[in-house]
Structure 1
Amino acid sequence: MSVIEEEGVRGGKGVFREICAEDDVDLQPTEIESLCMNCYKNGSTRLLLTKIPFFKEIIISSFTCPHCNWSNTEVQSAGRIQEQGVTYTLKVRSKQDLNREVVKADCATTTIPELDFEIPAYTQKGSLSTVEGLIDRAVAGLEQDQPVRQATDPEVAAKIDEFMQKLKKLKDVENEFTLVINDPSGNSFVENPFAPQKDEVLTVTQYKRTAEQDAQLGLKENETKEEEEETPGNDIETLRNEVLVFNTNCPECNAPASTNMKLVQIPHFKEVIIMATNCDNCGHRTNEVKSGGATEELGTRITLRVTDPSDMSRDLLKSETCSVLIPELEFELGMAALGGKFTTLEGLLKDIKELIVSKNPFTCGDSSTPERAEKLEIFGKKIDKIIAGEMEAHIILNDPAGNSYLQNVYAPDPDPEMKIEKYKRTFEQNDDLGLNDMKIEGYREDISDS
């Protein structure tokens, strides 16, 4: 364990600290002597291990050389590689969109389809910037070798000059253009300035990585299952009655922690797996729910009209693929947010309020504006009114996998305030769930033939 980690654990504050105006004295960067790659003399590198609220841990490094005045900044993700890759598609329609904050990992690919322009993965270091900053960085990269090109190949240099003018013209936003960031590690991020409302010009899509992308990230799939043992038929009953414990790391401070897992049968629904992690170092607690069954043939949309405070005590299962809508607040929570949860309706609304209001990084520091803070404060008060029964609202759970559940307090009779709809998934929804690539027809015949 390094000196930084030992101090963090000993102080009970963890390795990665959130940036806060009141914490400037305690949150100091680490400075180390390092070699300048420009003049090959010694300069200094400053490292800051911090955490972006509403996102994840990052390492910010800044190098300066007092001899040749060369400097370099870099951002690296310090979090784990996510289970799925992510693609952010932003339609830039105004100059305000150029000010959106962007975290781009070094393994992310950036493209602008209108110019047929692409920045391949690993050709730039990770950065914490804005949309305008990404364009300026691309222009600076093209300008770097222009003097050499003008001397050796003037024709190519002229074409690059022409293309750079097109890139610079994008900042005038005379015409709409598209910025696409495709990150197989899932560690890139584009700001939604309209949170908690849905962003009409920003689309976030999660996808399953290919074998080639796993290899680029240094991940390997277990091609052999020699270590797997046959499970006796009564082991399922054993799992239902036992709480399994296994070691892991805390998602907040990365200290060793333990995760409890139990198989639970939800009445009038199906079996689910509940996982809970408790960290003795920083006190962080998480709970997550995984569906114990297969993906249903039809998607499920559950609509509840909240008319009484007693509705807040209804049990609720939100799977990882479920999105939450509250039409009265013009609010939509994407399927990737909050993960899987087994809680009550009140617990879900409190988690939404905490995620949008308390943990939102754009409500403090330089990113905060009075208008945005006021809007989020109003949103939080409306959530409190719904919980207290002072405001009627509709809670809509839309799960294309059909693995979400909301308690019917009138069961087995129909609930007059709740509507459950089954619908056929679209091709895009099947693609998001990875179902389009699954072979289910003629599968048994293939096994018997082999």
Structure 2
Amino acid sequence: MSALGAVEAAGAGGAALFRPLSAEDGEQQPAEIESLCMNCYRNGVTRLLLTRIPFFKEIIVSSFTCESCSWSNTEIQSAGRIQEQGVRCALAVASRQDMDREIVKTDCATIRIPELDFEIPAFSQKGVLTTIEGIIDRAVMGLEQDQPVRRATDKEVASKIDDFISKLKQLKEVHSPFTFIIDDPSGNSFVENPHAPQKDEALVVTYYKRTPQQAAMLGLEEEELDEKPADSAEDLRNEVLQFNTNCPECNAPANTNMKLVQIPHFKEVIIMATNCDSCGHRTNEVKSGGAIEPRGTRITFRITDPSDMTRDILKSETCSVEIPELEFELGMGALGGKFTTLEGLLKDIKDLVERNPFTLGDSSTPSKTEKLQEFIGRLQEIIEGKTKAVFVMDDPAGNSYLQVGRIRAAFLCPDG
């Protein structure tokens, strides 16, 4: 039985399958399935754990062990939805500590190391939850697997592969910096930021629109947009549209409501709200209803009074947020689009930082926990109006907005 097949069988009872990953959760026991060992062809045991990683999605962790030959294998499968955009993470590896960064790699992700002209193509390996060093070790193991046969049949090719394996092993010592790139059109791969909540200068995360070829690779069909007459578009502004979706928390069927709203003195936006009857989860998101502006917008706001927290704010999904006093930067794509107050957005940022999986449980260290608590305390003082701060919104698409007041806004050219 496959991992996804076991999930479907387990879900027949209607219970919540995916629980948040937690070191304190003793009730979350893996399911055990007898399966064939591909090393000695005897029966072994596969353990399946259905869990949800914060800042990631639902995943199925499968671990196989064989008592006959002691062979073992661990891999993950994504059980969440394909994201709206693909993601590309480029990390400049400069120290041994960078080799210990945790990596979530899905089946469809491609890994590249340009300095060695090395690439692991999509769908050539199963999804894994590992480290950068673990990725390199798996690549070395795969190349060494058929070396005895190559040495017997083609010594020249075997010699070249031995040289390349040696170069891969030297990467783990980090004698010289190199670039580690993971490109995932599904948007479900992840690279740890050990400096959270501060920005990681060595890590560049880019979100992009999938090409038709990438969409076909993922099994997605292009949506055909039907042209609507002008009076039909006008009617949409006066009604709430509803469509079926899945809850982002428990993955149960839910309904999403969508409404076109005109923000005074700004532009039209689309507000989407999802309510789940199964687990009670509620979420809302805002998307721009207009085109990308000719120039980007940078809004700098000085928070000097508790009443500033009540200002309306529209943060689009292309907008990044910065608070210089905290040395904090929230990249575009994080938190999605939101139409709320300044206090509401800061509280969402606080909740986002507190749920960071790499500062909780076994993944945390005393120094990380101490820095995180200090950051949360300083952010809470800003929310309560006890500390003055500068709040910066940078939106290259020009679709973000802050209620008029003591604001200094700059309109940027497309090239920044």
Q: Is the 8 A contact 2:241 2:257 kept in 1?
A: yes
Cα deviation, 1:120-173, whole Å, max 9, x if unaligned, reads 111111110011111111111111111111111122212211111111111111
**Aligned residue type for 2:127:** G
**Aligned residue type for 1:17:** R
Q: CA deviation at 1:230?
A: 3.6
Matched, 1:421 2:410: yes
Cα deviation, 1:269-312, whole Å, max 9, x if unaligned, reads 11111100011111111100011111111111111000000000
CA distance in 2, matches of 1:5, 1:207: 33
**Aligned residue type for 2:293:** E
CA distance in 2, matches of 1:41, 1:342: 57
Superposed structure 1 runs of 4+ greater than 4 Å apart: none
Answer with 168-177 or 241-250: which moved more. Answer: 241-250
Alignment-derived partner of residue 19 in structure 1: 21
Alignment-derived partner of residue 365 in structure 1: 361
CA distance in 2, matches of 1:206, 1:264: 26
CA distance in 1, matches of 2:130, 2:311: 43
Q: Is the 8 A contact 2:24 2:361 kept in 1?
A: no
Q: Is the 8 A contact 1:317 1:342 kept in 2?
A: yes
Alignment-derived partner of residue 322 in structure 1: 319
Matched, 1:282 2:283: no
Matches within 5 A, 1:280-319: 280-319=277-316
Q: Is the 8 A contact 1:19 1:27 kept in 2?
A: no
Alignment-derived partner of residue 4 in structure 2: none
CA distance in 2, matches of 1:198, 1:232: 45
Matched, 1:4 2:10: yes
Alignment-derived partner of residue 198 in structure 1: 199
Alignment-derived partner of residue 437 in structure 1: none
Alignment-derived partner of residue 146 in structure 2: 145
Identity %: 69
Q: CA deviation at 1:203?
A: 0.4
Q: What TM-score, normalized by structure 2, do the two folds share?
A: 0.95
CA distance in 2, matches of 1:313, 1:51: 34
Matches within 5 A, 1:329-368: 329-357=326-354, 359-368=355-364
SS in 1 for 2:257: strand
Q: CA deviation at 1:71?
A: 2.1
Cα deviation, 1:173-230, whole Å, max 9, x if unaligned, reads 11111111111111110000111111010000111111211111111214x55xx364
CA distance in 2, matches of 1:186, 1:20: 23
**Aligned residue type for 2:407:** M
CA distance in 1, matches of 2:360, 2:176: 33
SS in 2 for 1:149: helix
SS in 2 for 1:21: coil
**Aligned residue type for 1:423:** L
Q: Is the 8 A contact 2:302 2:389 kept in 1?
A: yes
CA RMSD of aligned residues (A): 1.5
CA distance in 2, matches of 1:116, 1:28: 42
CA distance in 2, matches of 1:205, 1:180: 11
Q: What TM-score, normalized by structure 1, do the two folds share?
A: 0.88
Unaligned runs of 5+ in 2: 1-6
**Aligned residue type for 1:369:** T
Matches within 5 A, 1:172-183: 172-183=173-184
Q: Is the 8 A contact 1:196 1:376 kept in 2?
A: yes
SS in 2 for 1:324: strand
Alignment-derived partner of residue 250 in structure 1: 247
Cα deviation, 1:31-68, whole Å, max 9, x if unaligned, reads 11222223333222111111111211111111222333
Cα deviation, 1:219-262, whole Å, max 9, x if unaligned, reads 1214x55xx364351x3443333222222110111101111111
Q: Is the 8 A contact 2:60 2:76 kept in 1?
A: yes
SS in 1 for 2:301: strand
CA distance in 2, matches of 1:19, 1:258: 26
Matched, 1:50 2:13: no
Answer with 282-291 or 308-317: which moved more. Answer: 282-291
Answer with 238-247 or 84-93: which moved more. Answer: 238-247
Alignment-derived partner of residue 40 in structure 2: 39
Q: Is the 8 A contact 2:102 2:191 kept in 1?
A: yes
